[in-house]
Amino acid sequence: MDIGGLETVVANSAYVAARGSIDDGAVQNFRDKKMRAKLKLPHITQCEHLKDQIDLDFSSLCLKQPVGQRLFQQFLENTEELKMVGDFWKDMESYNVAETNERLQKAQKLVNKYYDSASKHFCPFLEEKAIMRVKEDCKNGRTELFKESEQLLLKHLEEAAFESYRNSLYFLRFLQFKWLESQPVTEEWFLDFRVLGKGGFGEVWASQMKATGKMYANKRLNKKRLKKRKGYEGAIVEKRILAKVYSRFIVTLAYAYQSKTDLCLVMTIMNGGDLRYHIYNVDEKNPGFEEARACYYTAQIICGLEHLHQYRIIYRDLKPENVLLDDVGHVRISDLGLAMELKDGEEKTKGYAGTPGFMAPELLKGEAYDWSVDYFTLGVTLYEMIAAKGPFRSRGEKVENKEVTRRILSDPVAYSEKFSSDCKALCEGLLVKLPAERLGFKDGECRELRNHPFFQNLNWGRLEAGLMDPPFVPDPKTVYAKDIGDVGAFSTVKGLVLDNKDKEFYDEFATGNVPIPWQEEMIETGIFGELNVWGSKGTVPNDLRH
């Protein structure tokens, strides 16, 4: 075995070992004790000033931020007159994620407990007509019963509990976590395991947050290479957009920091390889996916696109290579380096961006366009999953970009017998050359697409809750990436000086922890539980005592 090969084996086995232990929930064993010890809540006097700096919106504080929600729920649980409402909320949540076959029974229990005016748990804030509707729907065996009640419950909590929460010890505890969250992030918090891939400005590494043990993908952008190749604007756009969106179908940004040489984006690690690899390289004699598998991935991609478009973000670079699988086989959109955000009031944009063979006709013609370009690329991507070739190119064919462009603009697409009629119809609806007639995002959602016959057997609610079993589970012992040697090296950039202006830019980029993912990491790795200690009932913990 050559040195490169050996290096790959060693790196892979350390990486697979760390991954395995994390899957088993034993992250603690892989933590760095010294770094873990640095995650400490400060005394309350050190962080009380944050009260005036954080967003005091109920929804942000008590619903969206995971640590905030936990502490708010703990407050409800431990406050006599709010306990019952808190239980109702938790019961609703457990109903929402229940398996289809358990739902009805759970619903009946909820109705008996909270909707019956004779019950001691009866919730008076529910409106009469909402009660009638839920009881009626429950009788008729409908699911998704409690959406309206949940809104009423949250409104009630905002009115009846929010203010007293903000005067409680639980809110002070929240401020302690916000302080910890706002601490600077440096290189010393991360340990790189192995290269996962190569990007335009540096390598992407499997990297561990030392203090919690959680594995991430760390996309490194070399400062000098960025400057030389004028990549600043693209880098900050990618970072800003990633920090803004939050969806289980798009890679999540958890940290943005800098080292002496690099700007680093720490994101959800996607261990299962990209769709391109799975279409062509896993079973080379029989490339492409069964339709059910293509359907599942397409649905997840649609959820990701819909989220981006709701934020007025055009992705522009959808293709199998940019869709990555995680350990269990769910996919997420990644590489938002070509994405752009339409400003308020702006309907369209212009500009050549994307990958040859995928770009929509209106973009290629230099016309103004909107997110409809992403549904054209979705059509190309779905076509490729089935046919194991692009719609505008034969397999292995070398064609000039000019010719590909000509075909996209004027040639019809041919479908082999591999396509079912529903699948063909969906591809045709997406590959429509006129954007106004293309399937896609309308009135804030992708309803028409979701209701397409191609998805008739798909439970969108369960898919969106992450509860639908994936059609393919990556083998945990396989590293779905090229060997380290094949990834290729970068040459060093010489004769370039970084000045104060550059430094200013790096500081703007390196904003540290991203709140929601950071809080999620604290909860999921058990740190939140370890730090959130209360002592015996009725006493005030030392760190919250003035």
In the stretch 328-357, what mask flags binding to ligand ADP with x, by CB under 6 A? Answer: ------xx-x--------------------
Interface with Mg ion in residues 326-385 (CB under 5 A)? 335, 337
Interface with ligand ADP in residues 180-209 (CB under 6 A)? 196-201, 204
Phi and psi at 153, nearest 5°, equal -65, -45
Nearest C-alpha neighbor of 211 from the set 328, 417, 343, 40: 40
Is residue 543 classed exposed, middle or buried when 0-12, 13-18 and 19+ CB atoms within 10 A define those classes? middle
Q: How far is the CB of 181 from ligand ADP (least distance, A)?
A: 22
Q: How far is the CB of 338 from ligand ADP (least distance, A)?
A: 8
Three-state SS annotation for 399-447: CCHHHHHHHHHHCCCCCCCCCCHHHHHHHHHHCCCCHHHCCCCECCECH
By a kind-dependent CB cut-off of 5 to 8 A, residue 145 interacts, out of Mg ion, ligand ADP, none, with none
Number of residues near Mg ion (by CB under 5 A) = 2
Number of residues near ligand ADP (by CB under 6 A) = 18
Active site annotation includes 317: yes
Residues 6+ apart with CB under 8 A from 199: 219, 221, 335
In the stretch 64-103, what mask flags binding to ligand ADP with x, by CB under 6 A? Answer: ----------------------------------------
Stretch that binds ligand ADP, among 266-274, 365-373, 384-392, 414-422 (CB under 6 A): 266-274
Q: What is the residue type of 396?
A: G
Q: Are 531 and 543 in contact (CB under 8 A)?
A: no
Q: Which single residue brings its beta carbon nearest to Mg ion? A: 337
Q: Please say which residue, 214 or 452, places its beta carbon nearer to ligand ADP.
A: 214
Phi and psi at 170, nearest 5°, equal -65, -35
How far is residue 124's CA from residue 23's CA, in Å, rounded to a whole number?
44
Based on its alpha-carbon atoms, the radius of gyration of the chain, rounded to whole angstroms, reads 26
Q: Which residue in 145, 251, 264, 364 binds ligand ADP (CB under 6 A)?
A: 251
Return the bridge partners of 220, or none. 264
485, two tokens: 């040697």
| Contact call for residue 217 and ligand ADP (CB under 6 A) | yes
Task: Count CA within 13 A, CB hemisphere, residue 343.
Answer: 0
Q: How far is the CB of 335 from ligand ADP (least distance, A)?
A: 4
Interface with ligand ADP in residues 474-503 (CB under 6 A)? none
| Contact call for residue 270 and ligand ADP (CB under 6 A) | yes
Stretch that binds ligand ADP, among 134-142, 267-275, 348-356, 496-504 (CB under 6 A): 267-275
How far is residue 327's CA from residue 332's CA, in Å, rounded to a whole number?
12
Q: Please say which residue, 71 or 324, places its beta carbon nearer to ligand ADP.
A: 324
Q: How far is the CB of 204 from ligand ADP (least distance, A)?
A: 3
Catalytic residue among 24, 87, 274, 317: 317
Q: Please say which residue, 267 or 408, places its beta carbon nearer to ligand ADP.
A: 267
| Contact call for residue 382 and ligand ADP (CB under 6 A) | no
How far is residue 15's CA from residue 528's CA, in Å, rounded to a whole number?
26
Q: How far is the CB of 316 from ligand ADP (least distance, A)?
A: 12
How far is residue 252's CA from residue 330's CA, in Å, rounded to a whole number?
14
By a kind-dependent CB cut-off of 5 to 8 A, residue 324 interacts, out of ligand ADP, Mg ion, none, with ligand ADP
Residues 6+ apart with CB under 8 A from 117: none
Q: How far is the CB of 525 from Mg ion (least distance, A)?
A: 29
Residues 6+ apart with CB under 8 A from 445: 306, 310
Q: Please say which residue, 161 or 275, places its beta carbon nearer to ligand ADP.
A: 275
Q: Which residue in 157, 161, 245, 267 binds ligand ADP (CB under 6 A)?
A: 267
If residue 331 lies in a helix (H) or strand (E), which one and from where to where?
Answer: strand 331-333
Nearest C-alpha neighbor of 207 from the set 38, 456, 32: 32
| Contact call for residue 520 and Mg ion (CB under 5 A) | no
Q: Which residues bind Mg ion (CB under 5 A)?
A: 335, 337
Please list the active-site residues. Answer: 317
Q: Which residues bind ligand ADP (CB under 6 A)?
A: 196-201, 204, 217, 219, 251, 267-270, 324, 334-335, 337
